[in-house]
Amino acid sequence: MKDEYILRIENVTKDFPGIRALSNVSFKIKKGDIHGLCGENGAGKSTLVKILAGVYPNNTYQGKIYFNEKELKFTSYSIEEAIKEGIATVYQEPVLVPQMTVGENIFLGREPGDKGIINWSKLFSDTKEILNKYKLSVPFFAKLSTLSVGQQQMVEIAKALSQEIKFLILDEPTSALTEAEVNYLMEMLKNLKDNGVTCIYISHRLEEFFRITDNITILRDGQVVNTVKTTDTSVEKVITMMVGREMKKRFPVRDSKPGEKILEVKNLSVSAQNKMVIKDVLFDLRKGEILGIAGLMGSGRTELVTAIFGEYGKHVTGEIFLEGKPVTIRSARDAIKYGISLVPEDRKKMGLVLIQEVYKNISLPNLRKFSNALSIDKYKELKECQKYADDLSIKTPSLFTITESLSGGNQQKVVIAKWLMSNPKILILDDPTRGIDVGTKYEIYNLINKLAKNGVGIIMISSELEEVLGMSDRIMVMREGECTGILDRKDATQERIMALATNLKRSYRYN
């Protein structure tokens, strides 16, 4: 029966200059279902979401989309039109105002009141009502800046649901959440389903589909590979459909032979905003070694590596030794000079100039290689950028493509390319595979192993314990700004890491 389907997508094709993002995409979603949508970076997921969200109007693509048996025809860029139809999208990174309260954010632009005067009592009572209805545990008087990333994600969802939405698109909702927040989100989605809300759920963490979805549609290279009932498939089968080949292992085999010490950090402490953020941290790194850093969100992982890179903290004490010699690093310029590169956690804010071309982002920290006192050798710059784009298999129509138009995985490869061009002795990777599909992850893992084999010291932060265990020679665990232990690969388990992440008892091991 047609009326059991809330959404039908029929032969949708979408082109951009030099690339076909979607090609004859067709599938349908049942009312009240949580429908998974997965695929590699560049598979077309984001393009399809933007069509449904009203970002791309009807005249920019071919094919038809029916919502509640009515053909969707957005006449212009209009997210409001989609919301009026009952469709809302919650993106990976919340689009909220940090200095406003939860209630102000939820009803921003739709504040209750009369003649320009806001009825604050009604605004906060309506906020409390929507949070209670969907069992969202968020303090509604709090400012957004005081909430965790997970709580901010809940506010985004509450904002969508406050508009009588019946169809919710969740794009990578767990990429920055802790395990506890992921569990809470899963329970909240079940509650939404019980309230009659249909969802599209997008994630690169494939295990989540098997916790929450009814059906899964797999995209590859802009085309639908298959739509399957979740209970009739497995993670391995989904991966095979996504990448077009069987992947027997999630992590490549490591032949680890670390050399002499390249980095020593002794008693490093960092304060910021009148608070001690990093407390007396002590560790070392060897040439060709991958040192994983694990810990819960807020444990100080990012602050530690950013301080080592010279870009965090007003007051830093302790000592840093490179190849046995003491160094002082007060800025990224100093770090680069000493051969330290950092791929940051937030690629959009700290890793890229999104409105610039791909080649300009790759060459940005390396312009001295191509310049003299008067000019930049453009031919040499482009040739070198093309080499790294080829080595990393960056999918882009050309080096002159604006970086913002690339998929998340390819944007991440651009960030990695620019720091590889600097020929680092030490490469720091802060959650390098966040929001990246399983196939691209494997490519990045191979690259990390290759760098380590060539003697580069690697520090890798990851929010995924499986990734830390699969890639690291040793694992440093942090909690509340302190190092609570360093485990050898052969001794490390998820249980031991979590014990150290939640217990301040120290158990250092150095080899």
- Buried b / exposed e over 288-319, threshold 16 CB at 10 Å, is bbbbbbbbbbbbbbbbbbbbbbbbbbeebebe
User: What DSSP letter does each residue of 369-424 carry, written as one string?
Assistant: GGB-SS-B-HHHHHHHHHHHHHHTT---S-TTSBGGGS-HHHHHHHHHHHHHTT--
Q: Do 38 and 131 belong together in one domain?
A: yes
Domain's final residue, options 185, 212, 243: 243
Spatial separation of the C-alpha atoms in residues 397 and 74, rounded to whole Å? 28
Task: Assign residue 503 the CATH number of its domain.
Answer: 3.40.50.300
* pLDDT higher than 60, residue 510: no
Tens of pLDDT along 445-502? 988 999 999 999 999 998 888 899 999 999 999 988 999 999 998 999 888 888 888 7
Answer yes or no: are the C-beta atoms of 320 and 263 closer than 8 Å: yes
pLDDT at 163: 82
Q: Do 417 and 271 belong together in one domain?
A: no
For the chain, give the mean pLDDT: 87
* pLDDT higher than 60, residue 348: yes
Spatial separation of the C-alpha atoms in residues 127 and 134, rounded to whole Å? 11
- Give the residue among 466, 470, 398, 455 at the shortest CA–CA distance from 424: 455
pLDDT grade, residue 48 (50/70/90)?
very high
Spatial separation of the C-alpha atoms in residues 34 and 277, rounded to whole Å? 40
Q: Do 309 and 398 belong together in one domain?
A: no
Q: Do 172 and 302 belong together in one domain?
A: no
How many other C-beta atoms lie within 10 A of the C-beta of residue 329? 20
Answer yes or no: are the C-beta atoms of 199 and 169 closer than 8 Å: yes
Helix, strand, or coil (residue 327):
strand
* pLDDT higher than 70, residue 3: no
Per residue, the 3-state secondary structure of 47-80, as one string, reads HHHHHHCCCCCHHHCEEEEEECCEECCCCCCCHH
In degrees and rounded to multiples of 5, residue 492 shows phi and psi of -85, 135
Helix, strand and coil in the chain, % to nearest 5: 35, 30, 35
Six token digits for residue 358: 């791909």
Tens of pLDDT along 51-85? 998 889 888 999 999 999 899 888 776 778 888 88
Please name every residue paired with 326 in a beta bridge, in sequence order, or none if there are none.
321
Domain's final residue, options 221, 243, 265: 243
| Percentage of residues in the chain having pLDDT higher than 70 | 95
Q: Do 317 and 384 belong together in one domain?
A: no
Six token digits for residue 204: 């690169």
Q: Do 228 and 282 belong together in one domain?
A: no
pLDDT at 230: 96
Q: Do 277 and 200 belong together in one domain?
A: no
User: What DSSP letter does each residue of 82-113 carry, written as one string?
Assistant: HHHHTEEEE-SS----TTSBHHHHHTTT---E
pLDDT at 115: 80
* pLDDT higher than 70, residue 139: yes
In the sheet that holds 215-220, the strands lie side by side as: 87-90, 167-171, 198-202, 34-39, 215-220, 223-229
Q: Do 144 and 75 belong together in one domain?
A: yes
* pLDDT higher than 80, residue 434: no
Helix, strand, or coil (residue 493):
coil
Six token digits for residue 312: 């965090």
Q: How far is CA 83 from CA 90, 157, 225, in A?
A: 12, 13, 29
Tens of pLDDT along 294-333? 987 778 898 999 999 998 877 899 999 999 999 999 998 8
Domain's final residue, options 213, 243, 273: 243
pLDDT at 414: 92
- Give the residue among 422, 484, 416, 476 at the shortest CA–CA distance from 279: 484
Q: How far is CA 331 from CA 99, 310, 313, 339, 341, in A?
A: 29, 4, 11, 13, 12
Spatial separation of the C-alpha atoms in residues 421 and 416, rounded to whole Å? 9
pLDDT grade, residue 511 (50/70/90)?
very low
* pLDDT higher than 50, residue 121: yes
Burial of residue 45 (number of CB atoms within 10 Å: 0-12, 13-18, 19+):
buried
Domain count for the chain: 3
pLDDT grade, residue 176 (50/70/90)?
low
Tens of pLDDT along 191-225? 888 888 999 999 888 889 999 999 999 999 899 99
CA 48 to the chain's CA centroid = 19
pLDDT at 248: 65
pLDDT at 2: 55
Answer yes or no: are the C-beta atoms of 412 and 347 closer than 8 Å: yes
Spatial separation of the C-alpha atoms in residues 169 and 198, rounded to whole Å? 9
pLDDT at 509: 44
Q: Do 182 and 305 belong together in one domain?
A: no
pLDDT at 247: 63
Whether the model pTM is above 0.75: no
Q: Do 50 and 109 belong together in one domain?
A: yes
Q: Do 285 and 319 belong together in one domain?
A: yes
Q: Angle formed by the axes of helices 438-453 and 235-243, to 10°? A: 80
pLDDT at 350: 80
Answer yes or no: are the C-beta atoms of 418 and 361 closer than 8 Å: yes
Amino acid at position 149, single letter: V
User: Who's near 488: CB < 8 A, 6+ residues apart?
Assistant: 473, 474, 509, 511
Q: Do 267 and 395 belong together in one domain?
A: no
CA 497 to the chain's CA centroid = 22
Spatial separation of the C-alpha atoms in residues 5 and 1, rounded to whole Å? 8
Over range 430-456, report the average pLDDT: 85
Spatial separation of the C-alpha atoms in residues 348 and 504, rounded to whole Å? 34
Tens of pLDDT along 244-303? 766 667 788 877 788 999 999 999 999 887 788 899 999 999 999 999 999 877 788 989
Per residue, the 3-state secondary structure of 227-263, as one string, reads EEEHHHCCHHHHHHHHHCCCCCCCCCCCCCCCCCEEE
Amino acid at position 245, single letter: R
Which structural domain range is residue 485 located in? 252-339+425-511
